[in-house]
């Protein structure tokens, strides 16, 4: 794609948590003037201290001179934005989001703003809130966009340019395909990991729990990381990607049932076949 359209130097970010805060840090480093919007004054003050943006306010009207605005709010707020926010966004500005479920966001924002581009940077940590933002969070990570026939092509071009400047890998897909895929590789792992942690918490006697805790190492840390992340985000993923996630859970339950079956039958050869296949499959993803 030839990038003919360039954004101005003023960019707005609504929400200064992990994704919004990290955007603020990197965009400033690239030479942009960043206007950050926080929900609470206390959060705004902390964002100023961390220099997540040059201008931080709880008043959306400061976005009036921004040509590009990232909506980095939690899914619930992203799908139910305040009227004060909508009214403050210039009609000629490009607006994009960072939400992890695209179909409902497209359905909502296509009716709210004429230059909306649905997008999702595929990155994150277990941290959340105004203290979570960090430099280079998007470097070498996929930035997925899900345009449809209503998407403004010049707006899409601008989001493309900025994503590349952040070091991201640009990927375009249909919204439904995106939601099915993230349900499988992002949302399902959160619940699987959480189920492991929940098993420890509920079904293990105290002495065993204490000993397991003392010997847990990198394998457990890797397996449990996403299940120990932001609970609000986990619930939002489940709520707004319910159908896809339910289907993936059913498929996972079937796979787990096979493991249980071969274990109880002591059918080690069939168990090994599955593990050989999964060893090979993992190399396709990491």
Please provide the DSSP assignment of the chain as one string: --------SEEEEE--SHHHHHHHHHHHHTT-EEEEE-SSHHHHHHHHHTTS-SEEES-GGGGGG-SEEEE---HHHHHS--HHHHHHS-TTSEEEE--S--HHHHHHHTTT-TTEE-EEE----S--STT---TTTTTTSEEEE---TTS-HHHHHHHHHHHHHTTPEEEE--HHHHHHHHIIIIIHHHHHHHHHHHHHHHHS-HHHHHHHHHH--HHHHHHHTGGGS-HHHHHHHHHHTHHHHHHHHHHHHHHHHHHHHHHHHT-HHHHHHHHHHHHHHHTTT-
Q: Is residue 235 over pLDDT 80? A: yes
Task: Please report the pLDDT score of residue 230 as a whole number.
Answer: 87
Report whether pLDDT(23) > 90: yes
User: Under CATH, what is the fold of the domain 177-282?
Assistant: 6-phosphogluconate dehydrogenase C-terminal fold (1.10.3660)
The domain made up of 10-173 is a member of CATH 1.10.620.20: no
The pLDDT assigned to 202 comes to 87
Q: How confident is the model at residue 8 (pLDDT cuts 50, 70, 90)?
A: low
pLDDT at 229: 86
Using the predicted structure, report yes or no on whether residue 1 has a pLDDT greater than 70.
Answer: no
Q: What is the pLDDT of residue 10?
A: 95
Q: Taking 80 as the threshold, does the pLDDT of residue 210 lie above it? A: yes
Mean pLDDT estimate for the chain: 93
pLDDT of residue 49 exceeding 70, the answer is yes
**Percent share of the chain, pLDDT over 90:** 91
Name which residue leads in pLDDT, 286 or 173: 173
Query: What pLDDT, in 10s, does the model give residues 126-173?
Result: 788 899 989 999 999 999 999 999 999 999 999 999 999 999 999 999
Same fold, 10-173 and 177-282: no
Q: Where are the domains of the chain?
A: 10-173, 177-282
Taking only the tens place, the pLDDT of each residue in 256-285 is: 999 999 999 999 999 999 999 999 999 998
pTM of the model: 0.90
């Amino acid at each position: 794609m030839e990038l003919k359209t360039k954004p101005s130097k003023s960019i707005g970010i609504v929400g200064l948590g992990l994704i919004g805060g990290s955007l603020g840090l990197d965009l400033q480093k690239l030479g942009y003037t960043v206007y950050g919007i926080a929900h609470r004054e206390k959060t705004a003050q902390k964002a100023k201290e961390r220099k997540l943006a040059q201008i931080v306010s709880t008043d959306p009207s400061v976005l009036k001179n921004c040509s590009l605005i990232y909506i980095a709010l939690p899914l619930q707020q992203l799908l139910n934005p305040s009227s004060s926010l909508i009214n403050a966004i210039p009609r000629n500005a490009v607006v994009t989001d960072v939400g992890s479920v695209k179909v409902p966001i497209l359905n909502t924002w296509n009716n709210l703003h004429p230059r909306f581009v649905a997008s999702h940077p595929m990155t994150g940590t277990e941290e959340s809130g105004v203290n979570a933002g960090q430099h280079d969070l998007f470097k070498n990570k996929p930035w997925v966009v899900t345009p449809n026939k209503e998407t403004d092509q010049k707006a899409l071009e601008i989001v493309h340019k900025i994503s590349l400047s952040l070091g991201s890998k640009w990927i375009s897909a249909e919204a439904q395909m995106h939601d099915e895929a993230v349900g499988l590789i992002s949302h399902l792992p959160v619940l699987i990991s959480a189920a492991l942690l929940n098993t420890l918490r509920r079904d293990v006697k105290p002495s065993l729990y204490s000993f397991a805790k003392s010997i847990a190492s990198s394998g457990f840390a890797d397996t449990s990381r996403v299940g120990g992340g932001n609970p609000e985000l986990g619930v939002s993923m489940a709520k707004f990607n319910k159908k896809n996630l339910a289907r993936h859970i059913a498929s996972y339950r079937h796979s787990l049932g096979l493991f249980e079956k071969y274990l109880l039958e002591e059918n080690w050869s069939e168990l090994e076949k599955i593990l050989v296949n999964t060893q090979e499959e993992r190399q396709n993803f990491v």
